Chain A
Amino acid sequence: MIEDLTKILVITRTFSDFSEAMEAVGYSAGTELRAIIEATLRFDDTIKTKIASSDMSIYVVPPGTTFIGETMMDEFGKEGGECGIVAGTMEIGLVQRMGNMEKVLRKPKVILARDLPEPESKE
């Protein structure tokens, strides 16, 4: 987890040493990442042992997916979002399945590629 996050962050060319980068990631967000793991364990146990009437699972949208307003939430909610391409998912959603029925209980929040602001260095 830390190594993967570090690989993403070193793309910003902030670090000159990978070990230093990993330590920085662990030092800066270790508490938050541990909290995510604890909450993920509780969530996993809940959907697999405490929900029996239906199947529930996390719903995320891979980058490059075409935006669908019925099942996704656009962070910026601009006009014409229906035809946008998802750049990434910032909040997880929740989907419930009962037989052939599928219901989105919580839409994942996404940012569309066209809504990424221009970085300052490009201005």
Chain B
Amino acid sequence: MKLNESRAALAHAHARLSEKDRLLSERTTELSAAQAFLTRVDAVSEAEVVGMVENLNTLISSASGALSATWDQREPVPGTLVDEPDLQLIRDYFGDSMFEEVAARNPVAVTLAVDTYLVQFIERVTSGWGGGATTGVVLGEIYGMISAKGKVNEHVCSQG
């Protein structure tokens, strides 16, 4: 009787082992197939991406340098052209002391304010989910506006 029970238990264990072998084999096959999709190879190196960031920083510096021509050669005029809510937004963002330094035409503060706006702009447009297509639409519109502005200015300058 005990021998029969042992044989039955052994047969049951064999059956369970076979089932586990089958499951292991199945999962191994599935994982091997998935591995091809999980293998991640970058098309560009870290150093290249860091280089792109350095290039952006150079461009930011160039833009704020170019923009200094719009204000540092001119005498201040009375009054302000920005609505109070917008002024408050800018003040809230930069903080009171930085805002006052910009208002006082501190060259470092004005340049830093422009830089800070541009870095935030880049951060904002690249942090979305959309990727190239969505970002391209957003930036394309801005690019078009700047280009149009340039044409207006070229027209004005050619007339002047």
Please give the residue numbers on chain A whose beta carbons come within 8 Å of chain B beta carbons, in ascending order.
Answer: 1-2, 4-5, 7-18, 21-53, 56-60, 62-64, 87-94, 96, 105-106, 108-109, 111, 113, 116-119, 121-122
Contacts and interface: CB of A to CB of B under 8 A. Distances in A.
Interface in B108-160: 108-123, 125-127, 131-132, 135-136, 139, 142-143, 145-147, 149-150, 152-153, 156-157
B80 interface: yes
B81 A15 contact: yes
Contact of A46 (B49, B60, B79): B49
A105 B64 CA distance: 24
A121 to B, nearest CB: 6
Nearest to A87: B98
Interface of B: 40-44, 46, 48-50, 52-57, 59-63, 66-67, 69-71, 74, 76-82, 86-87, 90, 93-95, 97-99, 101-123, 125-127, 131-132, 135-136, 139, 142-143, 145-147, 149-150, 152-153, 156-157
A63 B49 contact: no
Given A27-B153, A87-B109, A93-B53, A41 B46 contact: no
Contact of B98 (A31, A116, A119): A116
Contact of B70 (A14, A51, A106, A113): A14
Given A4-B117, A11-B82, A87-B112, A40 B104 contact: no
A6 to B, nearest CB: 8
Given A14-B74, A24-B70, A44 B112 contact: no
A103 B78 CA distance: 48
B39 to A, nearest CB: 9
A72 B47 CA distance: 19
Contact of A25 (B70, B80, B139): B70
Contacts of A13: 76-80, 103, 105
Contact of A50 (B44, B54, B147): B44
A9 B67 contact: yes
A93 B126 CA distance: 13
Contacts of B48: 46
Contact of B146 (A9, A33, A48): A33
